[in-house]
Amino acid sequence: MSSKGSGIGAYDTAERRWAGVGPYYAMFPAAFADCVVKRYSDPGDTVLDPFAGRGTSLFSAAVQKRFGVGVEVNPVGWVYAQAKLHAAAQDDVQERLKAISRSAWRFRAETERLPAFYSHCFSGPVLAFLLAARAMLNWRRSKVDWTTAALLLVNLHGKRDASLSNQMRQTKSMSPQYAIEWWHARKLRPPKVDPLEFMERRLAWRYAHGRPTLCGSRVFLGDSVRRLPALAEQGEIEARLLFTSPPYCAVTNYHYDQWLRLWMLGGSPEPRTVSGSSRGRFWNSGAYEHLLRDVFAKTNELLTDDATVYVRTHKRELTYTITRRVLREVFPEKRMRTFSRPFTTPTQTSLFGDVPDDTGEVDLILKP
């Protein structure tokens, strides 16, 4: 899945500029999300996404006068979604960036203590700035801070002349040793950018048309297995559209692939895979099936009887077969239609997936 704006006018409104926050593995293209929300729900309806990622479905719902409600377990996806749905004012973010910049000198010594990867990836001033941001941003609680964090994450790595880092993919963080060798072979040094000035320019672009006009929507940071029952208990949500894309089985590890951005949010300075009970969920087919069954069964409690269930997933055998089986079991009273969506452009999955990717995606639509 990819999310490029296309054609003249692709970024001519605040909604379109903010829809692109931020690069995330297997994200919905914004235009696709807009079409699904428009077709399968009405203004005033609630749209539920238990695997919200960067919040594309929720944002699309909120732009189109629906209420988005979602859950995302990965802090990177959550910060993007939260910033899109509840963006702070430009002046406040600018002030926060200035405060970070003023404090950066305190973190110079700490730059020396990081693994070698960091000094190959970022210049000294950028690294001190990032360490200050990492220490100062209370991104879980403060609107200004989750907005600032999201915009930093968007620009953390990417093309050498268009991000804070040495040359790197924008969507997926590379493994440290691979990256060092790659830069060394090409004699690529980290770009000498002034981080404050760079971020201010990025801010000016993002806010050029202001902030999006949205219907109140919510995204929760956490595991849907636990969060959905809590939402059901409150008894406030009756969604008419369940619109989601579950994780793919044995294709990607959302934590490992985002390790550098997770470090920015206070995580380990080294890549880490998901730990504990979550780890097996995407690699062991039994655990994967259990996760999907558990989550979809719990969404059932939050849907109206006439709700549409729209699931986009990968067409690879395991992911597709399991998802289809689970949906049939959980929603036996609904009629399922299946549409193949071959990839027309290279996707993150085909570029970076750990398995060959030659089958595209599939949409499973269930209606009463």
Ligand X SMILES: C[S@@+](CC[C@H](N)C(=O)[O-])C[C@H]1O[C@@H](n2cnc3c(N)ncnc32)[C@H](O)[C@@H]1O
Give contact residues for ligand X (rule: CB under 6 A): 24, 26-28, 51, 53-54, 56, 71-74, 77, 223-225, 245, 247, 254
Indicate the residue among 10 and 287 with the shorter CB distance to ligand X: 287
Nearest approach, Cβ of residue 73 and ligand X (Å): 4
Output the CA–CA distances (angstroms, integers) from residue 93 to 13, 174, 250, 270, in the order listed.
20, 29, 38, 28
User: Which conformational region is residue 227 in: left (phi greater than 0), alpha (psi within -120 to 50 degrees), or beta?
Assistant: alpha
* Residue at shortest CB range from ligand X: 53
Nearest approach, Cβ of residue 26 and ligand X (Å): 4
Nearest approach, Cβ of residue 353 and ligand X (Å): 12
Indicate the residue among 51 and 320 with the shorter CB distance to ligand X: 51
> What is the C-alpha end-to-end distance of the chain, expressed in Å?
28
Output the CA–CA distances (angstroms, integers) from residue 269 to 40, 114, 145, 259, 261, in the order listed.
43, 7, 21, 8, 10
Nearest approach, Cβ of residue 206 and ligand X (Å): 18
Nearest approach, Cβ of residue 260 and ligand X (Å): 16
Residue 2 sits at φ, ψ, to 5 deg, of -135, 170
Cβ–Cβ < 8 Å for 166, 121: yes
Indicate the residue among 20 and 53 with the shorter CB distance to ligand X: 53
Indicate the residue among 130 and 260 with the shorter CB distance to ligand X: 260
* 335's tokens: 């009629």
Distance of CA 291 to the CA centre of its chain: 19
Indicate the residue among 121 and 295 with the shorter CB distance to ligand X: 295
For residue 328, the surrounding DSSP H or E stretch is helix 317-330
DSSP 3-state assignment of 327?
Answer: helix
What residues contact 105, with CB distance under 8 A and at least 6 apart? 128
Residue of 95, 93, 189 whose CA lies nearest to 148 = 93
Indicate the residue among 187 and 234 with the shorter CB distance to ligand X: 234
Nearest approach, Cβ of residue 129 and ligand X (Å): 27
Nearest approach, Cβ of residue 362 and ligand X (Å): 13
Indicate the residue among 125 and 247 with the shorter CB distance to ligand X: 247
